[in-house]
């Protein structure tokens, strides 16, 4: 006769062999089949319950990155260049909005950990994205009608952001939301006004060469023609002036320094009238000035990635 302990062990082995207490629910391997057509579902797995829930929520967000394909977005990105930093920022904001709409539908515990089923209401999420599109369309239409150089340039990043929202609405519901104007007419209007502008960059900028080069690259990415020094038959219609100043601050830590930096950029026309202005301040700490300045320039470039289009050129 088997002992009680041996009987218990054999019973546990039989249960495991037949799926017993660790038998997984169907939704673990087929999450979408467990959800209605109005829901988007995904599964997360981890040792802890909270981690499994977080994994499930992130899995929902990843669906957008892997499954959304849009010819319109590709067209917008090709014509209105956007930096990687700005693009990442817009995508992260969209991810945050998406995660706010995700809820945990099911949780299953096993000997090894947890499974969580996350769900997203497609209609509600689509409505949230549609509201963002409506707000952007109102601003875009005003800028399009004004047809000033500054407004037309600012429209580029706005159109990129709109296309990201549009892609998600179309993915979730199949619905298309038309622009309040023709995209081709926007490109034609922008090209006609921006081709008359050439900006001189460099001669009146008091800052490290690598920062000047970065500024020139960002303006070129917006579609502006540039005059960057040397002999050129093209006369500048606008000039970029400015400087990067720094001030050493008190820091009671041996082996480290702290400096504050201020960037000022001004756009002027041939009449020397100021048409645009950007100002940015940052404070950095490091072991020496070279290290600190490098960190400061990285921070400044991050700021310019998101704001260079706001430098009004008129």
Confidence of residue 202 (pLDDT cuts 50, 70, 90): confident
Confidence of residue 14 (pLDDT cuts 50, 70, 90): very low
CA 226, 229, 235, 238 torsion-angle sign: positive
Distance of alpha carbon 309 from alpha carbon 278, whole angstroms = 10
Distance of alpha carbon 188 from alpha carbon 10, whole angstroms = 78
pLDDT at position 298: 94
Contacts by 251-260, CB closer than 8 A, 24 or more apart: 251/285, 255/287, 256/285, 256/286, 256/287, 257/285, 257/286, 257/287, 257/288, 257/289, 257/292, 258/283, 258/284, 258/285, 258/292, 259/283, 259/284, 259/289, 259/292, 259/293, 259/296
pLDDT at position 223: 83
Beta bridge partners of 260: 247, 283
Is there a contact between 304 and 141 (Cβ–Cβ < 8 Å)? no
3-state secondary structure of 42: strand
3-state secondary structure of 113: coil
pTM equals 0.71
pLDDT tens digits, one per residue of 91-126 = 677 777 778 889 999 999 999 999 999 999 999 999
Q: Give the pLDDT mean for 241-263.
A: 94
Q: Give the pLDDT mean for 119-144.
A: 94
pLDDT at position 148: 87
Residue 143, Cβ neighbours under 10 Å: how many?
18
Q: Give the pLDDT mean for 257-269.
A: 95
Q: Which helix (H) or strand (E) holds 165?
A: helix 149-173
Confidence of residue 64 (pLDDT cuts 50, 70, 90): confident
Phi and psi at 231, nearest 5°, equal -75, 135
CA 311, 157, 184, 135 torsion-angle sign: negative
User: Is the predicted pLDDT of residue 7 greater than 50, yes or no?
Assistant: no
Q: Which percentage of the chain shows pLDDT scores above 70?
A: 85
């Amino acid at each position: 006769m088997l002992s009680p302990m041996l009987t218990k062990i054999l019973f546990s082995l039989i249960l495991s062999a037949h799926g017993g207490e660790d038998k997984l629910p169907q939704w673990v391997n087929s999450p979408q089949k467990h959800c209605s057509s109005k829901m988007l579902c995904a599964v997360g797995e981890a040792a802890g319950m909270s981690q499994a829930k977080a994994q499930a929520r992130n899995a929902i967000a990843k669906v957008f990155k892997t499954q959304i394909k849009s010819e319109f977005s590709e067209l917008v990105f090709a014509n209105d260049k956007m930096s990687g930093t700005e693009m990442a920022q817009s995508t992260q904001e969209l991810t945050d909005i998406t995660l706010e709409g995700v809820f945990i539908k099911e949780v299953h515990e096993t000997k090894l950990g947890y499974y969580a089923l996350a769900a997203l209401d497609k209609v509600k999420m689509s409505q949230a994205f549609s509201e963002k599109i409506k707000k952007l369309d109102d601003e875009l239409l005003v800028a399009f009608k004004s047809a000033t150089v500054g407004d037309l340039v600012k429209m580029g990043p706005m159109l990129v952001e709109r296309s990201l929202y549009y892609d998600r609405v179309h993915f979730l519901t199949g619905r298309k939301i038309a622009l309040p104007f023709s995209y081709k007419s926007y490109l034609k209007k922008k090209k006609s006004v921006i081709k008359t502008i050439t900006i001189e960059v460099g001669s009146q900028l008091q800052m490290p060469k690598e920062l000047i080069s970065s500024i020139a690259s960002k303006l070129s990415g917006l579609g502006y023609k540039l005059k960057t020094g040397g002999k050129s038959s093209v006369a500048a219609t606008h000039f970029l002036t400015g400087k990067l100043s720094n001030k050493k601050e008190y820091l009671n830590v041996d082996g480290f320094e702290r400096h504050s930096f201020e960037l000022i950029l001004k756009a002027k026309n041939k009449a020397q009238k100021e048409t645009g202005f950007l100002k940015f301040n940052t404070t950095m700490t490091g072991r020496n000035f070279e290290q600190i300045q490098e960190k400061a320039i990285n921070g400044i470039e991050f700021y310019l990635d998101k704001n260079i289009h706001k430098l009004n050129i008129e």
